Chains A and B, each alone.
Chain A
Amino acid sequence: MSAILDPTRKLVGQPIKRREDPRLIAGAGAYLDDIKLTGMVHAALVRSTSAHGRIKSIDAGTARGMPGVLAVFTGEDFADLNPLPGAWTAGGVQNNVNTPRVLAIGEVHQVGDPVAVVIAENAYQAADAVEAVAVEYEDLGVVVDAKKATEDGAPQLHENAPNNVVLKWSCGKEAAEVDTALAAAEVRVQQHLVNQRLIPTSIEPRGSIGRYDPGTGDYTLWTTSQAPHVMRLLITAFVMGIPENKLRVISPDVGGGFGCKIFCYYDMALMLALSKKLDGRPVKFFEDRSENYLTTTHGRDHITDVEIGATKDGRITALKVDTHANLGAYFSTIAAGIPTTLYGRMVAGCYKIPNIRVDVTAVYTNTAMVDAYRGAGRPEAAFVIERVCDLVAGATGVDPAEVRRRNFIQPEDFPYDTGIGMLPYDSGNYEPALDRALEIVGYAGLRAEQAARRERDDRKLLGIGLSSYVEVCGVAPSKWIGLPGEGWGAGLWESANVKVHLTGKVVVTTGTLPHGQGHETSFAQLVADELGVPYEDIEIKHSDTLGTPFGFGTYGSRSAAVGGTAIYKSVAKVREKAKKLAAHMLEAAEADIVWEHGRAYVKGSPDAAKTIQDIALQAAVAYDLPGEMEPYLDETTYYDPPNCTFPFGTHVCVVEVDRETGEIALQRYVAVDDVGNVINPMIVDGQVHGGIAQGLAQALYEGAVYNDQGELVTGTMNDYAIPKASMVPTYELERTVTPSPTNPMGVKGAGEAGTIASTPAVANAVIDALAHLGVNHLDMPITPEKVWRAIGGGAS
């Protein structure tokens, strides 16, 4: 502790334990369902059992008479609320937008669509009454597959989206040009790739509490959101049509999100409107796990065909990618941006590929909406390009590591433009990360061991999978990502305010917010170093639109690179003002003032220093300020970055595959990541651990499945396999450091890298184990039965 109190010790780069954890681990946190307000009542939803139907009747007569029931409302009762907004339409193309209403009116488009809401004195009574509401549907036909949905004769979900097409988008060269390059290639490979649908599964599900104050006309919303300021904007200006300043949005402690809590959901405006109907009684809705799986957004769900051209020595000359992206029943808040800007424009990965063409067709189906899920587009892109590398290796006989090495963008190429519409990659040095990963894992030895096992016809085969990834974080600037460019409906800057109070204590308010990332620790480390105040004297405040400056929220690994830079710049402004005041206090010229660890002194006289605390007091009491200087050390920054950041690295996975049963055992997992400069290495390691677990789970375990009736077959954790600690290996982590030139801290972002890299690393490893048996691809999740069948099991 004393080390942390010492302002001369540099904290950035230190693995300080998270200050949030004692509170959260001891159960002293306050998550949404912990909040109990005076007079609060409970909402439960009647949900559609039909995946696509016309509502013929809703009979709530019995429910209304049940114990504790205060009211039952249906969609028509909220006809004055607009459909939820679509905030990110794909840039440059027509978007056939159909967003959901708070409760369905007329038609339902997925199992779980909310059709009525029951309000009762307690949650049990509400749940009982939901069962008593009878709804009849006329079946309109169901389609759950993105390709089948576009076929003639498929059931049509929305009038303005013929063949269920949300949008068609492309990037890269003209198709004919890439076809020519493909035709000229020495080696050609084609592959069908399915990136299956995933369910984000944050530990805490979602919910909202709405409260209307009949006296002031003000609303307050507590909600499990990664972006409270954006929710306030969307709910007021787009859904409810009330002034933005009449709503306060608070994200309490949020138990994980992985993206699914970025979006504007039905329950938010619904709870506010219900509280008004109930004369201000607060109304709580908190989904259960079954509802979470059914109706909170899902991720991925791409069907892709790739055509690859390469030279005989493994250089990729042409790549054509055609993807159908399943967006589910409606257009979720930022759904269109994921398979376009964040997927299509990242398909080149870390390779120089002269001819690329990506076509994306986004599609409505009778399934849960699909939107950003940890990695959001980049995992899908990394899966394509990293499978492509191994397919090229298989077709040319060049080692998979060598294929990557031969195609890497070189250090001198940065900033590098891939030619498919992404901003130039800011910095990178891909080969050292690959080399180090291969060295740690003992690549040559493993290849020899693999060959020996094959030679001996061992039951347990060895597989080695590589994934060299690059991703994009801190997406900005606003003028690029925004409406005229990539289609995002607003900016993507961040803001921060830093106040040094009279007593020398520091309060930082930020528009970003944690849902598990440790902002309070990392940001305090940063401020302690830059301002020279003790770490313990710094409070990081967030998550409440009352009292924090506007921010776009936490996703896309943007908090440090964008929000952190806003803090950094505010601290710099405070420091500059403090230096001016110190010069006045020391009766010296500002140019002669030296700033060191929170102390200002005249060059050559370090003993006669003024501390930041002395200066803050002087600034606040304001008896004696120089010239026009305003009182108080209080500075705000709105920071719009000039570019995105592009973390990268190489992951290597080693698996044993049992030829007899197809069972897969994860033997080793080596990750060498480069996320730029690191503020807290323990937090970054934790992010990488969790990310790898989620990504390897896609490769081996997870997959959301609907039946032909549009029912979610994997509707509980008994069927949908999120990874347990016993199912993941020990991670061997290292880092290289290539600072980002985009921001003054040189940070890139680390929240999603693990998820992006690990899925192809693990899939490639399993496929590699079977390569000598003629297997060059397996669809995920790669279950033991799929392996068993791929090597001849079950063949009659």
Chain B
Amino acid sequence: MFPNRFEYRRPGSLAEAVQILAENPDAKLLAGGHSLLPAMKLRLAAPSTLVDLSQIEGLRGIAANGALTIGALATYNQVHDSAAVRQAAPMLADTCGIVGDPQVRVRGTLGGSLAHADPAADLTAVVLALGGEVTVVGSGGERTIAADDLFVDLLTTSLAPEEIITEIRIPDLAGAKMAYEKHEHPASGYAVVGVAAVLAMGDGGTIRSARLAVTGATAKATRLSSAEAVLAGKTVRTETIAAAAAAAADGLEINGDLYASADYRRHLVGVLTRRALERATG
């Protein structure tokens, strides 16, 4: 459990951090470290340089103004405890309370989770379903990436090597119904399958639009577009929810492992979609 040799840098500004990344192509950012450090100790990751973001000001704040803005270094516990988050996106607050274990929630960060893009992370699907976006800073300045465009493949995002997520924005979802349902791996605590559902509601109990995302079942957090299509414009009824659940796994390339086969995960995608929709609308 001894990592390979690495340089440790602790920049005082984003500009300095970006410069270190640009100069060291295999450098890695250190936020909470709870995914990165175990990988380094197992020598599955061997970055030449760790860039500790902890001394950079302004990356931890949480602000609400209709939309929600969360600093990339806000820890799961901070997000979970934030009244603003609970008011604007209760599913996000709740999920930050069930990620990993207490140690992970004290150290782990929302920005770190999204940048790491673990195929079984909880927050990737949650932020994707919430229609979130991230602000990133790199050598070319600042840009915004929608969650829909952020997750590219297994542990791969559309961030350029020298780009750093600085904040996560969740749009104003006033009146939306939302819930995240998860089947947890007994060892890792990661999602074997997790389904996040967000329903924007129109008049008379109709669903104006639906955003659903799955994690754990696929190489990256993925929208459940078939289920979304079933729900859009419908009223909330048992039959509608059942139809969405039945369609949820359509078109997904689902993985299997020692704990759960692809068949079983496919089944869970349907069940958890139904349960998420029931809880969101219940």
A interface with B by C-beta (< 8 Å):
123-124, 127-128, 131, 288-290, 660-661, 663, 700-701, 705, 713-714, 716-722, 724, 727, 783-785, 788-789, 793-794
Chain A residues with CB under 8 A of B260: 783-785
Cβ-defined partner of B258 (8 Å) among A701, A714, A717 = A714
A288-B1, A724-B101, A785-B260 given; A717·B187 CB < 8 A = yes
Nearest residue, chain A, Cβ from B261 = A785
- Say yes or no: B187 contacts A793, CB within 8 Å: no
B128 vs chain A, min Cβ distance (A): 23
A652 vs chain B, min Cβ distance (A): 23
B interface with A by C-beta (< 8 Å):
1-2, 4-5, 42-43, 101, 183, 185-188, 258-261, 263-264, 267-268, 271
Task: For the complex, give the distance between the alpha carbons of A516 and B234 in Å.
Answer: 60
A385 vs chain B, min Cβ distance (A): 27
Cβ-defined partner of B264 (8 Å) among A127, A701, A713, A794 = A794
SS class, residues of chain B in contact with chain A = loop
Task: For the complex, give the distance between the alpha carbons of A716 and B42 in Å.
Answer: 10
Chain B residues with CB under 8 A of A128: 2, 4-5
Chain A residues with CB under 8 A of B43: 131
Chain A residues with CB under 8 A of B264: 784-785, 788-789, 793-794
Cβ-defined partner of A794 (8 Å) among B2, B259, B267 = B267
Task: For the complex, give the distance between the alpha carbons of A721 and B264 in Å.
Answer: 19
Task: For the complex, give the distance between the alpha carbons of A329 and B258 in Å.
Answer: 24
- Say yes or no: B187 contacts A718, CB within 8 Å: yes
Total of A-B residue pairs, C-beta within 8 Å? 58
- Say yes or no: B271 contacts A719, CB within 8 Å: no
Chain B residues with CB under 8 A of A793: 264, 267
A-B contact pairs, 8 of them (CB 8 A): A124-B5, A131-B43, A288-B2, A661-B267, A661-B271, A714-B258, A718-B187, A794-B263
Chain A residues with CB under 8 A of B268: 661
- Say yes or no: B183 contacts A727, CB within 8 Å: no
Chain A residues with CB under 8 A of B2: 123-124, 127-128, 288
Chain B residues with CB under 8 A of A721: 185-187
Task: For the complex, give the distance between the alpha carbons of A783 and B268 in Å.
Answer: 14
Task: For the complex, give the distance between the alpha carbons of A701 and B188 in Å.
Answer: 12
Chain B residues with CB under 8 A of A123: 2
Cβ-defined partner of B187 (8 Å) among A660, A719, A788, A794 = A719
SS class, residues of chain A in contact with chain B = loop
A128-B4, A290-B42 given; A720·B187 CB < 8 A = yes
- Say yes or no: A727 contacts B186, CB within 8 Å: yes
A41 vs chain B, min Cβ distance (A): 15
Task: For the complex, give the distance between the alpha carbons of A468 and B187 in Å.
Answer: 29
B46 vs chain A, min Cβ distance (A): 10
Task: For the complex, give the distance between the alpha carbons of A727 and B267 in Å.
Answer: 23
Nearest residue, chain B, Cβ from A662 = B264
Task: For the complex, give the distance between the alpha carbons of A681 and B195 in Å.
Answer: 46
Task: For the complex, give the distance between the alpha carbons of A288 and B271 in Å.
Answer: 40
Chain A residues with CB under 8 A of B259: 719, 783, 785
Chain A residues with CB under 8 A of B1: 288-290
B254 vs chain A, min Cβ distance (A): 13
A288-B1, A713-B258, A714-B258 given; A660·B271 CB < 8 A = yes
- Say yes or no: B188 contacts A705, CB within 8 Å: no
Chain B residues with CB under 8 A of A289: 1
Task: For the complex, give the distance between the alpha carbons of A714 and B258 in Å.
Answer: 9
Chain B residues with CB under 8 A of A124: 2, 5
Chain B residues with CB under 8 A of A727: 186
Task: For the complex, give the distance between the alpha carbons of A290 and B2 in Å.
Answer: 11
B225 vs chain A, min Cβ distance (A): 24
A127-B2, A713-B258, A794-B267 given; A719·B183 CB < 8 A = no
Task: For the complex, give the distance between the alpha carbons of A788 and B261 in Å.
Answer: 12
Task: For the complex, give the distance between the alpha carbons of A380 and B267 in Å.
Answer: 34
Task: For the complex, give the distance between the alpha carbons of A727 and B131 in Å.
Answer: 33
Given contacts A128-B5, A785-B264, 12 further A-B contacts (CB under 8 A): A124-B2, A289-B1, A663-B183, A714-B258, A718-B187, A718-B188, A721-B186, A783-B259, A785-B261, A794-B263, A794-B264, A794-B267
A784 vs chain B, min Cβ distance (A): 7
A638 vs chain B, min Cβ distance (A): 43
Task: For the complex, give the distance between the alpha carbons of A720 and B187 in Å.
Answer: 6
Nearest residue, chain B, Cβ from A718 = B188
- Choose among A290, A705, A718 the residue with the greatest number of B CB atoms under 10 Å from its CB: A718
Task: For the complex, give the distance between the alpha carbons of A289 and B2 in Å.
Answer: 11
- Say yes or no: A719 contacts B188, CB within 8 Å: yes
A783 vs chain B, min Cβ distance (A): 7
Task: For the complex, give the distance between the alpha carbons of A302 and B210 in Å.
Answer: 51
Nearest residue, chain B, Cβ from A290 = B42
Q: Which 9 A-B pairs have the closest CB atoms?
A: A721-B187, A721-B186, A288-B1, A127-B2, A785-B264, A718-B188, A794-B263, A701-B186, A124-B2
Task: For the complex, give the distance between the alpha carbons of A441 and B54 in Å.
Answer: 52
Nearest residue, chain B, Cβ from A126 = B2
A662 vs chain B, min Cβ distance (A): 8
Chain A residues with CB under 8 A of B42: 290, 716
A780 vs chain B, min Cβ distance (A): 13
Chain B residues with CB under 8 A of A663: 183
Nearest residue, chain A, Cβ from B270 = A660
Task: For the complex, give the distance between the alpha carbons of A603 and B260 in Å.
Answer: 76
Task: For the complex, give the distance between the alpha carbons of A663 and B43 in Å.
Answer: 35
Nearest residue, chain A, Cβ from B267 = A793
Chain B residues with CB under 8 A of A700: 186
Task: For the complex, give the distance between the alpha carbons of A722 and B188 in Å.
Answer: 10
Cβ-defined partner of B183 (8 Å) among A127, A288, A720, A784 = A784
Nearest residue, chain A, Cβ from B185 = A721
Chain B residues with CB under 8 A of A720: 187
Task: For the complex, give the distance between the alpha carbons of A748 and B6 in Å.
Answer: 54
A31 vs chain B, min Cβ distance (A): 15
Chain A residues with CB under 8 A of B267: 661, 788, 793-794
